[in-house]
Amino acid sequence: MDTAIESLGVARIPSPLKHVQHVTDDECILYDSSARNVEQQIREGQTPVSFMKAGPRDFMYFDPSKLKCAVVTAGGLCPGLNNVIRAIVLTLYYSYGVRNVLGIRYGFQGLVPQYGHPILELTPKSVGDIAELGGTVLGSSRGPQSVEDMVDALERMNVGILFAIGGDGTMRAVSKICEGIRNRNAKISVIGIPKTIDNDISYMSRSFGFNTAVTVAAEVITAAHVEATGSPNGIGLVKLMGRRAGFIASYAALAKRDANFVLIPESDFDLEGPHGFLAVLEKRILDRKHAVIVVAEGAGQQYAHGEGTDESGNPRLGDIGIFLKEAIDEYFKGKGIELNLKYIDPSYTIRSVEATSDDAIFCTFLAQNAVHAGMAGKTNMVVGNWRDEYVYIPVDLVITGRKQVELDGKLWSSVLEATGQPSFKP
């Protein structure tokens, strides 16, 4: 695994940052936290894999008085986007003395002249109170853009550092833009700040927005429980985010022990049959008169049947929430059992709420460390968080795969323990 960080050149300008510990490029955070594994690797003559530690460097590559930076947000909304934008601007301005920061409107469209989106000027004043707002003040978009056009725009505007906040697609764009920049031998740094509300980015212990999503999702589970217990044979069915990974559903269910069933994309389930989900739900309703079901949007896709792809090429998922609601209604009607099912889909509400304090603090640290990296001339990388340490990771590494809930791991076994649900398999 290559964890080396690309650099634009030697950093020679002394950093203005005083009263804060500086970090050198040879300070690393081990990938593997097991002492036994690390010792074994050393005994076998291997160098244990590690990530470069994030933080301010002694020297800068860019001269802050001449530097122009740009910030772009792309992909779906996620709590904390504005916190990251704000902290990037404040750190550039107050810590480094950078006076020119541009806000690129509506994702990468903002770098392509034909769209005609105006550029925003970002100052401490203009970003002063954006952290209380959900969404992104820059706007966002999907869909491919020409890399040549984007690099042209960066050169034309004389941008030295581009900060790109977004999901897997955005990180792919960072990689492609860096390739375009390298081909032209231009001196532009591109730093990614990965965004995934689902917490499914590889090599990142935590991503911003996830804490907020779990906090709000847990409240929704409580609401579903109130609804379920409020009427005879009540069912509260909650659909949560999680296209390929069920982290939000799993953590929210652990936060509130009211969920009786948690369905996630990683764990297939049978709907019909004596051990299938509907039969187990029937037993629960007859025994306890109420049930709370939490389903992640990517679960049960063999039943929900999504079709085609969106503008970004992501498969369109079938709506498992609506599918389950109808399947449950029909099943109980067939059995002659009266049911009171309440379906709650809070996904868009969760995406656009203000970040929790915990996420807001996390966003600030990510943004500060992104700025330190850019100022030092690092590029083609993302700022990440590995085992509670802030680190720099090559962008090509984080786009190689995705994290999922391990079905034999401690998270899923805790969920099974908390819900008492069986495997829904013969």
Q: Which of residues 380-419 bind ligand ATP (CB under 6 A)?
A: none
Q: Report the binding-site residues for substrate.
A: 196-198, 241-243, 297, 348-351
Residue 368 within binding range of ligand ATP, rule CB under 6 A: no
Distance of CA 307 to the CA centre of its chain: 24
Residue 297 within binding range of Mg ion, rule CB under 5 A: no
3-state secondary structure of 237: strand
Name which of ligand ATP, Mg ion, none residue 374 binds, using a CB cut-off of 5 to 8 Å depending on partner kind.
Answer: none
Residue 169 within binding range of ligand ATP, rule CB under 6 A: yes
Name which of Mg ion, ligand ATP, none residue 106 binds, using a CB cut-off of 5 to 8 Å depending on partner kind.
Answer: none
> What are 134's two structure tokens?
């959900």
To 10 degrees, the CA torsion angle through 58, 151, 175, 87? 50
Nearest approach in angstroms of CB 193 to ligand ATP is 11
Distance of CA 76 to the CA centre of its chain: 10
Residue 167 within binding range of Mg ion, rule CB under 5 A: yes
Name which of ligand ATP, Mg ion, none residue 176 binds, using a CB cut-off of 5 to 8 Å depending on partner kind.
Answer: ligand ATP
Binds Mg ion by CB under 5 A, chosen from 169, 194, 209, 394: 169
Distance set, CA 51 to CA 38, 59, 170, 380 (Å): 14, 20, 21, 14
Nearest approach in angstroms of CB 292 to ligand ATP is 27
Relative to beta strand 234-240, strand 340-344 is: parallel
Element (H, E) at 334: helix 320-334
Nearest approach in angstroms of CB 19 to ligand ATP is 36
Residue 290 within binding range of ligand ATP, rule CB under 6 A: no
To 10 degrees, the CA torsion angle through 21, 27, 30, 36? -110
Name the catalytic one among 63, 198, 310, 359: 198
Name which of ligand ATP, Mg ion, none residue 145 binds, using a CB cut-off of 5 to 8 Å depending on partner kind.
Answer: ligand ATP
Among residues 217 and 280, whose Cβ is nearest to ligand ATP?
Answer: 217
**Do 260 and 229 form a contact (C-beta atoms < 8 A)?**
no
**Do 96 and 371 form a contact (C-beta atoms < 8 A)?**
yes
Nearest approach in angstroms of CB 184 to ligand ATP is 16
In the residue annotation, 198 being an active-site residue is answered as yes
Among residues 132 and 179, whose Cβ is nearest to ligand ATP?
Answer: 179
- Amino acid identity for residue 209 in this structure: G
DSSP 399: T
Residue 113 within binding range of ligand ATP, rule CB under 6 A: no
Distance (Å, rounded) from C-alpha 388 to C-alpha 101?
A: 29
Nearest approach in angstroms of CB 303 to ligand ATP is 24
Return the range that interacts with ligand ATP (CB under 6 A); candidates 70-78, 90-98, 353-361, 381-389. 70-78
**CA proximity to 161, closest of 244, 223, 96, 208:** 96
**CA proximity to 353, closest of 76, 79, 81:** 79
- Contact positions vs Mg ion (CB under 5 A): 167-169
- Contact positions vs ligand ATP (CB under 6 A): 74-76, 107-108, 141-145, 147, 166-170, 172-173, 176, 312
